[in-house]
Amino acid sequence: MAKREIKKAVLAYSGGLDTSIILKWLQDEYGCEVVTFTADIGQGEEVGPARQKALDLGIKEENIFILNLKEEFVSEYVFPMFRANAIYEGEYLLGTSIARPLIAKKQIQIAEQTGADAVSHGATGKGNDQVRFELGYLSLNPDIAVIAPWREWDLNSREKLLAYADEHGIQIDKKGKKSPYSMDANLLHISYEGQILEDPSAEPEEDMWLWTVSPENAPDKAEYITISYRKGDPVAINGEEMSPATLLKTLNDYGNKHGIGRVDIVENRYVGMKARGCYETPGGTIMLKAHRAIESITLDREEAHLKDEMMPRYAKLIYTGYWWSPERKMIQAAIDATQENVEGDVRLKLYKGNVMVVGRSSKLSLYSEAHSTFEEDEVYNQADAEGFIRLNALRFIIEGKKQPNRIAGLIGKK
């Protein structure tokens, strides 16, 4: 099949093995000018060297973009997601998924800024990320061309990639021990997939976990922290207000210290297969617990229940790459409307992998001690409950009298 004619492509570029080879491959296979885009979203690796690596591969200075996106990532993507208490298949806090729409958006913006007619990514043809990136691209620019090298080339092993690098003079750092895992990191989480993890019955080796101390080796003394919320978002820790990125980084530090946020799951990928993944989401795990606690005293019952019913659909939309879809925006608007009065303080106890809520307070709290007390009160007439119960049972009473066979079936009476 003939190659499409591409004049300029914006590549999501880390400077690592895969994307360095993709850069050269785009130049050779498509004969196009390449623009590199490196996003700093708190992955913990130095992004500065990506500039020199791009220059060494012939990229013009004006075509190299390295952007610090940590604050935007947390405030515009992580926090909105946590307002929904989003969690995929009961355990996954969507750390990789939520970063993709931001990267896609910036690639499209840079494409428009530089006059590029294509975008490219390094996601494989087996995973979810190809879907997330490309749904984002096409949602934001329906006319953009998308180049996914892993679906086109035959460089399907590390050995072939290294041989290609040697053949084309691409400098690759081979020093140090190579991790056996495929990893992705940002300010919200780090993930591990592949190699020994492909056996779902095998326990991960302890030295795989790069962020959190093992719960067994965490401090023997519990630590207490207080998170303050305003309009559904955390704004302070222990009374100190912080920017969104700083706050999440601080919660990560607490979680790492106390062995919080490790998850080992087999998840259902959007493309069809099951995949085993291990994740560390220390700050996010703390934040999810705290957010549900402050909602428990500030949200109306039916509001909270309806929100919980929407959450699995919302989480699935993020997991499968539909952040920019009309339905995600619609659900987000409903979720955000519930957060107007979600403010106050949550006190948490951190201890050996556990996050325990030990207190919550708000000036907008719907909790009424006068109504809830087991002691004598003057605001609630317990006799009112009889009428409440009989009205709710009225349809059962009528059906039981009109269709007695139903009751006979329920109690096993012949």
Same domain as 159, residue 280: no
What's the per-residue H, E or C state across the chain?
CCCCCCCEEEEECCCCHHHHHHHHHHHHHHCCEEEEEEEECCCCCCCCHHHHHHHHCCCCHHHEEEEECHHHHHHHHHHHHHHCCCCECCCECCCCHHHHHHHHHHHHHHHHHHCCCEEECCCCCCCCHHHHHHHHHHHHCCCCEEECHHHCCCCCCHHHHHHHHHHCCCCCCCCCCCCCCEEEECCCCEEEECHHHHCCCCCCCHHHCCCCCCHHHCCCCCEEEEEEEECCEEEEECCEECCHHHHHHHHHHHHHHCCCCEEEEEEECCCCCEEEEEEECHHHHHHHHHHHHHHHHHCCHHHHHHHHHHHHHHHHHHHCCCCCCHHHHHHHHHHHHHCCCCCEEEEEEEECCEEEEEEEECCCCCCCHHHHCCCCCCCCCCCHHHHHHHHHCHHHHHHHHHCHHHHHHHHCCC
Same domain as 354, residue 397: no
Q: How confident is the model at residue 176 (pLDDT cuts 50, 70, 90)?
A: very low
Does 155 reside within a domain? Answer: yes
Q: Catalytic: 199?
A: no
* Residue 22: predicted pLDDT: 95
Q: How many CA atoms lie within 13 A of 177 on its CB side?
A: 5
Q: How confident is the model at residue 48 (pLDDT cuts 50, 70, 90)?
A: confident
Same domain as 15, residue 114: yes
What share of the chain in percent tops pLDDT 90? 81
Mean pLDDT of the chain: 94
Contact 348, 289 (CB under 8 A): yes
Same domain as 161, residue 133: yes
Does 174 reside within a domain? Answer: no
pLDDT for 230-246, tens place per residue?
A: 999 999 999 999 999 99
Among 111, 140, 167, which residue terminates a domain? 167
Q: Mean pLDDT throughout 109-137?
A: 96
Q: Catalytic: 51?
A: no
Same domain as 34, residue 133: yes
Among 138, 167, 196, which residue terminates a domain? 167
> Edge to edge, what strands does the sheet with 145-147 contain?
64-68, 33-40, 8-12, 118-120, 145-147
pLDDT for 285-329, tens place per residue?
A: 999 999 999 999 999 999 999 999 999 999 999 999 999 999 999
Does 176 reside within a domain? Answer: no
Q: What is the CATH number of the domain that holds 236?
A: 3.90.1260.10
Same domain as 381, residue 277: no
Contact 262, 209 (CB under 8 A): yes
Does 323 reside within a domain? Answer: no
Same domain as 354, residue 224: yes
What share of the chain in percent tops pLDDT 70? 97
Q: How confident is the model at residue 179 (pLDDT cuts 50, 70, 90)?
A: low
Q: Catalytic: 97?
A: no
Same domain as 382, residue 354: no
Q: What is the CATH number of the domain that holds 139?
A: 3.40.50.620
Same domain as 110, residue 13: yes
Does 335 reside within a domain? Answer: no
* Residue 178: predicted pLDDT: 59
Q: Mean pLDDT throughout 88-101?
A: 98
51, 75, 117, 182: the active-site residue: 182
Q: Catalytic: 345?
A: no
* Residue 175: predicted pLDDT: 46
40, 129, 233, 345: the active-site residue: 129
Same domain as 243, residue 103: no
Nearest C-alpha neighbor of 354 from the set 261, 265, 263, 283 = 261
Same domain as 281, residue 144: no
Does 207 reside within a domain? Answer: yes
Same domain as 122, residue 45: yes
Does 388 reside within a domain? Answer: yes
Does 239 reside within a domain? Answer: yes
14, 20, 97, 100: the active-site residue: 100
Contact 30, 116 (CB under 8 A): no
Domains identified in the chain, total number: 3
Domain of 398, in residue numbers = 369-411
